[in-house]
């Protein structure tokens, strides 16, 4: 017995139901797998997922960056919280974890956790509002520059000793619009 055709013939004549089912399931798996990058591409566009992640084989296809800024609302206006202040033991773990989730999952990571906003507000007594400004950047082929693809602002307000999400603004699919 030699040749691929022989293998196929044997499959027809001797294979058990279990083996035929296995082959069928693997065939279904192959079809699903081959379609997955298309689905992931749509998720990248709509929700800002990291294209390099999730086994859609889009590594080295584009560049992706996310910035998470923390802004304190003061009588003088919005002031960026210095990154050193975010490196306290209480805040840093929460900030880092959310940052990583956001880098990978984009909008699917949801708003920052209320505990993070609460910890930041407790760090600055008297602060009533804190905002998280998140920007997703992607390599824009039209301009050859890293351009904003998505931007979101989450506004937390102190209420009864606990920060609650007061307002949010999420704008996606901005690549090529020069929008900031």
Size of the site for another protein (CB under 8 A): 54
Q: Is 143 in the site for another protein (CB under 8 A)?
A: yes
Q: Which CB, 138 or 155, lies closer to another protein? A: 138
DSSP sequence for 71-122: EEEETTEEEEPPGGGGGSHHHHHHHHHHHHHHHHHGGGG-SPPHHHHHHHHH
Exposed, middle or buried: residue 3 (CB in 10 Å: 0-12, 13-18, 19+)? exposed
Binding residues among 33-62 for another protein as defined by CB under 8 A: 33-34, 37, 41, 50-62
- Per-residue interface string for the shown chain with another protein, residues 62-101, x marking contact by CB under 8 A: xx------------------------------------x-
Residue with tokens 């990154």: 83
Q: Is 141 in the site for another protein (CB under 8 A)?
A: yes
DSSP sequence for 118-161: HHHHHHSTT--EEEEEEEEEEEETTTTEEEEEEEEEEEEEEETT
Alpha-carbon gap, residue 104 to 100, rounded angstroms: 6
Stretch that binds another protein, among 20-28, 76-84, 117-125, 163-171 (CB under 8 A): 20-28
Stretch that binds another protein, among 17-25, 84-92, 114-122, 150-158 (CB under 8 A): 17-25
The residues binding another protein (CB under 8 A) are 1-4, 6-8, 10-12, 14-16, 18-20, 22-31, 33-34, 37, 41, 50-63, 100, 103-105, 139, 141, 143-146
């Amino acid at each position: 017995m030699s040749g691929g055709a022989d293998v196929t013939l044997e499959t027809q004549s001797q294979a058990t139901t279990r083996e035929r089912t296995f082959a069928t399931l693997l065939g279904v798996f192959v079809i699903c797998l081959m379609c997955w990058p298309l689905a992931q591409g749509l998720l990248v566009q709509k929700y800002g997922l990291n294209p390099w992640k999730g086994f859609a084989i889009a590594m080295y296809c584009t560049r992706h960056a996310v910035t998470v800024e923390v802004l304190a609302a003061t009588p003088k206006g919005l002031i960026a919280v210095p990154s050193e202040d975010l490196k306290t033991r209480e805040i840093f773990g929460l900030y880092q974890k959310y940052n990583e989730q956001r880098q990978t999952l984009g909008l699917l990571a949801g708003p920052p956790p209320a505990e993070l906003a609460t910890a930041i507000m407790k760090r600055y007594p008297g602060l009533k509002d804190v905002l998280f400004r998140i920007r997703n950047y992607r390599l824009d082929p039209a301009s050859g520059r890293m351009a904003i693809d998505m931007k979101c602002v989450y506004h937390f307000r102190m209420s009864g000793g606990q920060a609650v999400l007061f307002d949010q603004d999420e704008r996606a699919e901005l690549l090529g619009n020069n929008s900031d």
